[in-house]
Amino acid sequence: MFEHYITKGRKKLRCGYTTGTCATIAAKASALMLLSQNTASKADIMTPKGLKVEAMLHDIILNEEKASCAVEKDSGDDIDATRGMLIYAEVSFRDDGKIIVDGGKGIGRVTRRGLQQNVGEAAINKVPMQMIEEAVLKVCKEYRYTGGLNVIISAPMGEEIAKKTFNANLGIEGGISILGTTGIVEPQSLQALVDTIEAEIKMISAEHKKDIIITPGNYGEDFLKSYPFAEKIPQIKCANFIGETIDFLLNYGFENVLLVGHIGKFVKLSANMLNTHSMYGDGRAEIITAHAGVSGADKEILIRLMNSVTTDEAIEILDEVHLRDRVMASLMEKIEHNIKRKAEGLNTEIMIYSNQWGILAKSSGLDRLMAYFREIAP
């Protein structure tokens, strides 16, 4: 077991290692076995983060022409779709002196532009590719071998596990990606999700598209199904990362952006909470209560709003005193101010909805943007 820990809050959490590290260890071990013609039970590498990772080898095959083995993915205390899966590397001889790394069964293939790999190539990211090549070359130098080697990375369960990842959204088909920039998985790290959001935006930009719809998740995606033309506009899920997503859109030159979100998340935007995760703050009841106060609600209503458990409950309270529209307009005015200040240079419009109540608020130019999207939808 890999023994490296980080502390988050009061918790001590064990780190794991990436699919890139697994592939590199398996490739190094297979090259060693092939050139030495001796089997091994474990192997290690130094990751880009500067931490040594040693792993047991599984399913070892060795003959005079090729060697292969697998390394089990260890995610530590992180929640990871690839936890426990086996990543294989098969190494065989070639005549031209080159080290060629490719993907086999269960490793996805890129079908759309905008990623690190070209269309048709295996979804092995740049850093893992360098790790694998360098590890194999080091073995070759150790054994004074000047010929070439084929290295095939595979993951027999990859196609099934890929269904739990964002690969389909990225245009990666047929399996998982081999990932990792440090070689180490930090528990509860959100950076991988942020990187995926940027990758999706980059891919859409590479297709010369400048219009996009952003939703935090499945609820927003489902809500948009009532607008058939919206399916023709590129859509991505940004989770809680509103601010980061806007930064990416600005960086990649987008022009028209529609933000569609549930009141439970988007109410936080009125307080300029551009990461809407509860770990960074909540205040939904407090925010609605404040806007109800400036909209004319009396003390009894304000107390009930402060004690409301959900935004839907708060809306029911506002409906009792016919203040829903006024409060939603007040919230949207502040949300629009905060978002458009953040997204200066983008034509950004906002729609807020509730699963129970439907559309609750629209930004000032929403109808014009929706009409434009309807017109350009193929």
Query: Sign of the CA dihedral 47, 50, 56, 60?
Result: positive
Q: Which two structure tokens, joined as six digits, stand for 304?
A: 């009930």
Same domain flag for 32 and 129: yes
Same domain flag for 158 and 232: no
List the one residue out of 24, 70, 73 whose CA is nearest residue 47. Answer: 24
Q: CATH code at 38?
A: 3.30.2110.10
Residue finishing a domain among 185, 204, 220: 185
Give the rounded percent of residues in the chain with a pLDDT score beyond 90: 77
How far apart CA 274 and CA 105 sit, in angstroms, is 40
Q: Dump pLDDT digits (tens) for 139-171.
A: 999 999 999 999 999 999 999 999 988 788 778
Same domain flag for 46 and 131: yes
* Counted domains in the chain: 2
Q: Dump pLDDT digits (tens) for 335-353.
A: 999 999 999 999 999 999 9
Same domain flag for 227 and 297: yes
How far apart CA 28 and CA 290 sit, in angstroms, is 61
Query: What is the residue range of 22's domain?
Result: 5-185
Contacts 24+ apart (CB under 8 A), 155-158: 155/19, 155/85, 155/86, 155/87, 155/88, 155/105, 155/106, 155/107, 156/86, 156/88, 156/105, 156/106, 157/85, 157/86, 157/106, 158/85, 158/105, 158/106, 158/107, 158/108
Report residue 8's pLDDT band, with 50, 70 and 90 as the boundaries.
low
Same domain flag for 153 and 224: no
Rounded to an integer, the average pLDDT of 255-260 is: 97
pLDDT at 1 over 80: no
Same domain flag for 80 and 201: no
Same domain flag for 126 and 42: yes
How far apart CA 212 and CA 348 sit, in angstroms, is 10
Rounded to an integer, the average pLDDT of 318-327 is: 97
Residues 290, 303 contacting (CB under 8 angstroms): no
Same domain flag for 143 and 272: no
Rounded to an integer, the average pLDDT of 212-226 is: 89
Same domain flag for 208 and 93: no
Report residue 369's pLDDT band, with 50, 70 and 90 as the boundaries.
very high
Q: Which two structure tokens, joined as six digits, stand for 13?
A: 């959490």
Same domain flag for 119 and 212: no
Query: Sign of the CA dihedral 27, 29, 32, 38?
Result: negative
Backbone angles phi, psi at 173, to 5 degrees: -120, 145
Q: Residue 216 corresponds to which amino acid?
A: P
Burial-class residue 62 by CB neighbours within 10 Å (0-12, 13-18, 19+): middle
Same domain flag for 258 and 339: yes
Residue finishing a domain among 168, 185, 202: 185
Q: Looking at 217-226, 249-258, 263-272, 324-333, which range is the least confident one?
A: 217-226
Residues 293, 312 contacting (CB under 8 angstroms): no
Residue with tokens 């000032």: 364
pLDDT at 333 over 90: yes
Q: Dump pLDDT digits (tens) for 104-122.
A: 999 999 988 777 889 999 9
Residue finishing a domain among 136, 153, 185: 185
